Structure 1
Amino acid sequence: MSNVRTDSDWIRRYHPSEKAAIRLVCFPHAGGSASYFRGISAALAPEVEGLAVQYPGRQDRRNEPPLRSIEELARGAAAAIAPWADRPLALFGHSMGAMVAFEISASLARDGIAPSVLFLSGRRAPSRVREENVRLRDDAGIMSELRRLGGTDDALMEDEELRQMVLPALRADYHAVETYRPRPGTVLDCPIVALVGDTDPRTTVDEARAWSEHTTGPFDLKVFQGGHFYLNAQVPAVLDVVRTRLHSLGSRVASPETAA
């Protein structure tokens, strides 16, 4: 049996698997939570064990103050992930989660725990900077941005009580995203697979391709039909990419039909 810790506030282990040859650690988008990846975890189990990161300030951590920088998020998550490195790790981050995964990968590599592969979804490379100010908008302005990006439950948009519950974390996440600047010269040596929707207003295909500048290892770019939350409608196709890449690392993975 694995002797890794399972009591971290940061890690959700929805489908424990002692037979898994590799673990896929998933990082959600701004305003997102670990449960966003429950279906992906189910689809990959038991050959790949999915772990999802739960940031402070949401769901069962909603009473904790949300963190306002990618570096803070990365430090907390990296410390929680390290005990799970008794097996090879792959990382998957969507949108803000891609930035956290990239920052964590650099941190883990410095500690001798380089990820086997890094999947970076729906986010432009750090070398492609846009000046954005969603964090400075009022509540209505932030909700307007969510509508523009799509992918958010209509119940959240219509329920004032729900909106007030999630807005503090959303505002903190946008602050983290819009003020993040990686350490100059941060370049990994692990493989990177960039994934992007072809109509994403936040990330162009060329901006996603620029992730190739941030690793000396192999790079691949996968373009899907859809916008910023292309993943919601493209889970089987995305899982096929993940499954194929993990298989090349020597892991057998399950078919995607059970994903939500």
Structure 2
Amino acid sequence: MLLYCFPHAGGASTTYRSWQRLLPVGIVVCPMSYATVGLSSGADLPAAAAVLADRIGADPAEPVAFFGHSMGALVAFEVARTLRARGRRGPVALVAAGHVAPHVPAPGPVLHGLPSDDFWREVRTLGGGRDDLIDDPELRAAVESRVRSEFRAAETYRYTPSYPLDCDVLAIVGAEDDRSPVEGMREWRMHTLGGFTMNVLPGGHFFVDAYRHEVLMMIQAALAATGATGRTGRTGVG
């Protein structure tokens, strides 16, 4: 099983490298990077998803599953739709963490057009920015264009109606996450003809970091439920 992981706006693929040693050997973690898919130069989210779909390959030798956090959940969803439109095999499961369903307007302020100081203040409030980066004007200046562009892609995304996916969907939400409340996360069930499960964890928008062990256990259970993971050399998250 190949588990493709899509980071949040401003996030890095390196976030998921540590997951490999924490999941069973039958699950191969494949972190996805946005560095060369146009998000930093104004591409919209579906266009970037089309490029990412190319990276997965025409016919993966193993079943695939997607995990996406925040904007990454939308990216994963659009990649799955792109694969289906191309007649290629899509994921057997999609795990959406910390973003309301694609057809639901995301609550909270729009950040990408804010002045620099206000922008970074809101990023800090979300919990997704390193304090050492936010407090250093030179580091901020080096990454601001990319981070702001990725926020723009997420905040200007508009769902285009289509047939639901046929894979299982697991939605994971932080109980204190005002940006992706439980009601909006529950609406992910509208986007699949497969099984749907929603799990609630404590914490805000970045509960994935604070409750990594629990998140990985949920992912592992969701993938096992598809019957596509096969036997593994380990039995659980370490």
What is the TM-score normalised by the length of structure 2? 0.90
> SS of the counterpart of 1:93?
strand
One-letter identity of the residue aligned with 1:222: N
- Contact 1:149–1:201 (8 Å) recurs in 2: no
> SS of the counterpart of 1:109?
helix
Alignment pair present for 1:95 and 2:70: yes
- Number of matched pairs: 232
- Contact 1:55–1:66 (8 Å) recurs in 2: no
Q: 1:135 to 1:68 in 2, by over 3 A?
A: farther
Unaligned runs of 5+ in 2: none
1:186 is displaced (CA, Å) by 4.4
Highest relative contact order (Cα 8 Å, sep 6+), 1 or 2? 2
Q: Spell out the pairing of 1:117-196 with structure 2 (5 A cutoff).
A: 117-130=93-106, 132-196=109-173
2:20 corresponding residue in structure 1:
41
State how far apart, in whole Å, the 2-side matches of 1:116 and 1:104 are. Answer: 13
State how far apart, in whole Å, the 2-side matches of 1:138 and 1:68 are. Answer: 21
State how far apart, in whole Å, the 1-side matches of 2:191 and 2:218 are. Answer: 20
- Contact 1:68–1:173 (8 Å) recurs in 2: no
Q: Deviations over 1:234-256 (max 9, x none)?
A: 11111111111222224245432
Q: 1:95 to 1:130 in 2, by over 3 A?
A: closer
- Contact 2:23–2:237 (8 Å) recurs in 1: yes
2:46 corresponding residue in structure 1:
71
- Contact 1:27–1:94 (8 Å) recurs in 2: yes
1:239 corresponding residue in structure 2:
216
1:116 is displaced (CA, Å) by 0.6
What is the TM-score normalised by the length of structure 1? 0.83
1:151 is displaced (CA, Å) by 3.5
> SS of the counterpart of 1:134?
coil
Alignment pair present for 1:114 and 2:90: yes
State how far apart, in whole Å, the 2-side matches of 1:157 and 1:172 are. Answer: 17
State how far apart, in whole Å, the 2-side matches of 1:245 and 1:97 are. Answer: 18
State how far apart, in whole Å, the 2-side matches of 1:54 and 1:247 are. Answer: 26
Overall identity of the aligned pairs, in %: 33
Alignment pair present for 1:104 and 2:79: yes
> SS of the counterpart of 1:236?
helix
1:6 corresponding residue in structure 2:
none
> SS of the counterpart of 2:3?
strand
One-letter identity of the residue aligned with 1:256: V
Name the Cα RMSD after superposition.
2.0
One-letter identity of the residue aligned with 2:9: A
State how far apart, in whole Å, the 1-side matches of 2:134 and 2:59 are. Answer: 37
1:38 is displaced (CA, Å) by 1.1
1:85 is displaced (CA, Å) by 1.5
> SS of the counterpart of 1:226?
coil
One-letter identity of the residue aligned with 1:36: T
- Contact 2:3–2:67 (8 Å) recurs in 1: yes
1:45 is displaced (CA, Å) by 5.2
1:83 is displaced (CA, Å) by 4.7
Alignment pair present for 1:256 and 2:232: no
One-letter identity of the residue aligned with 2:237: P
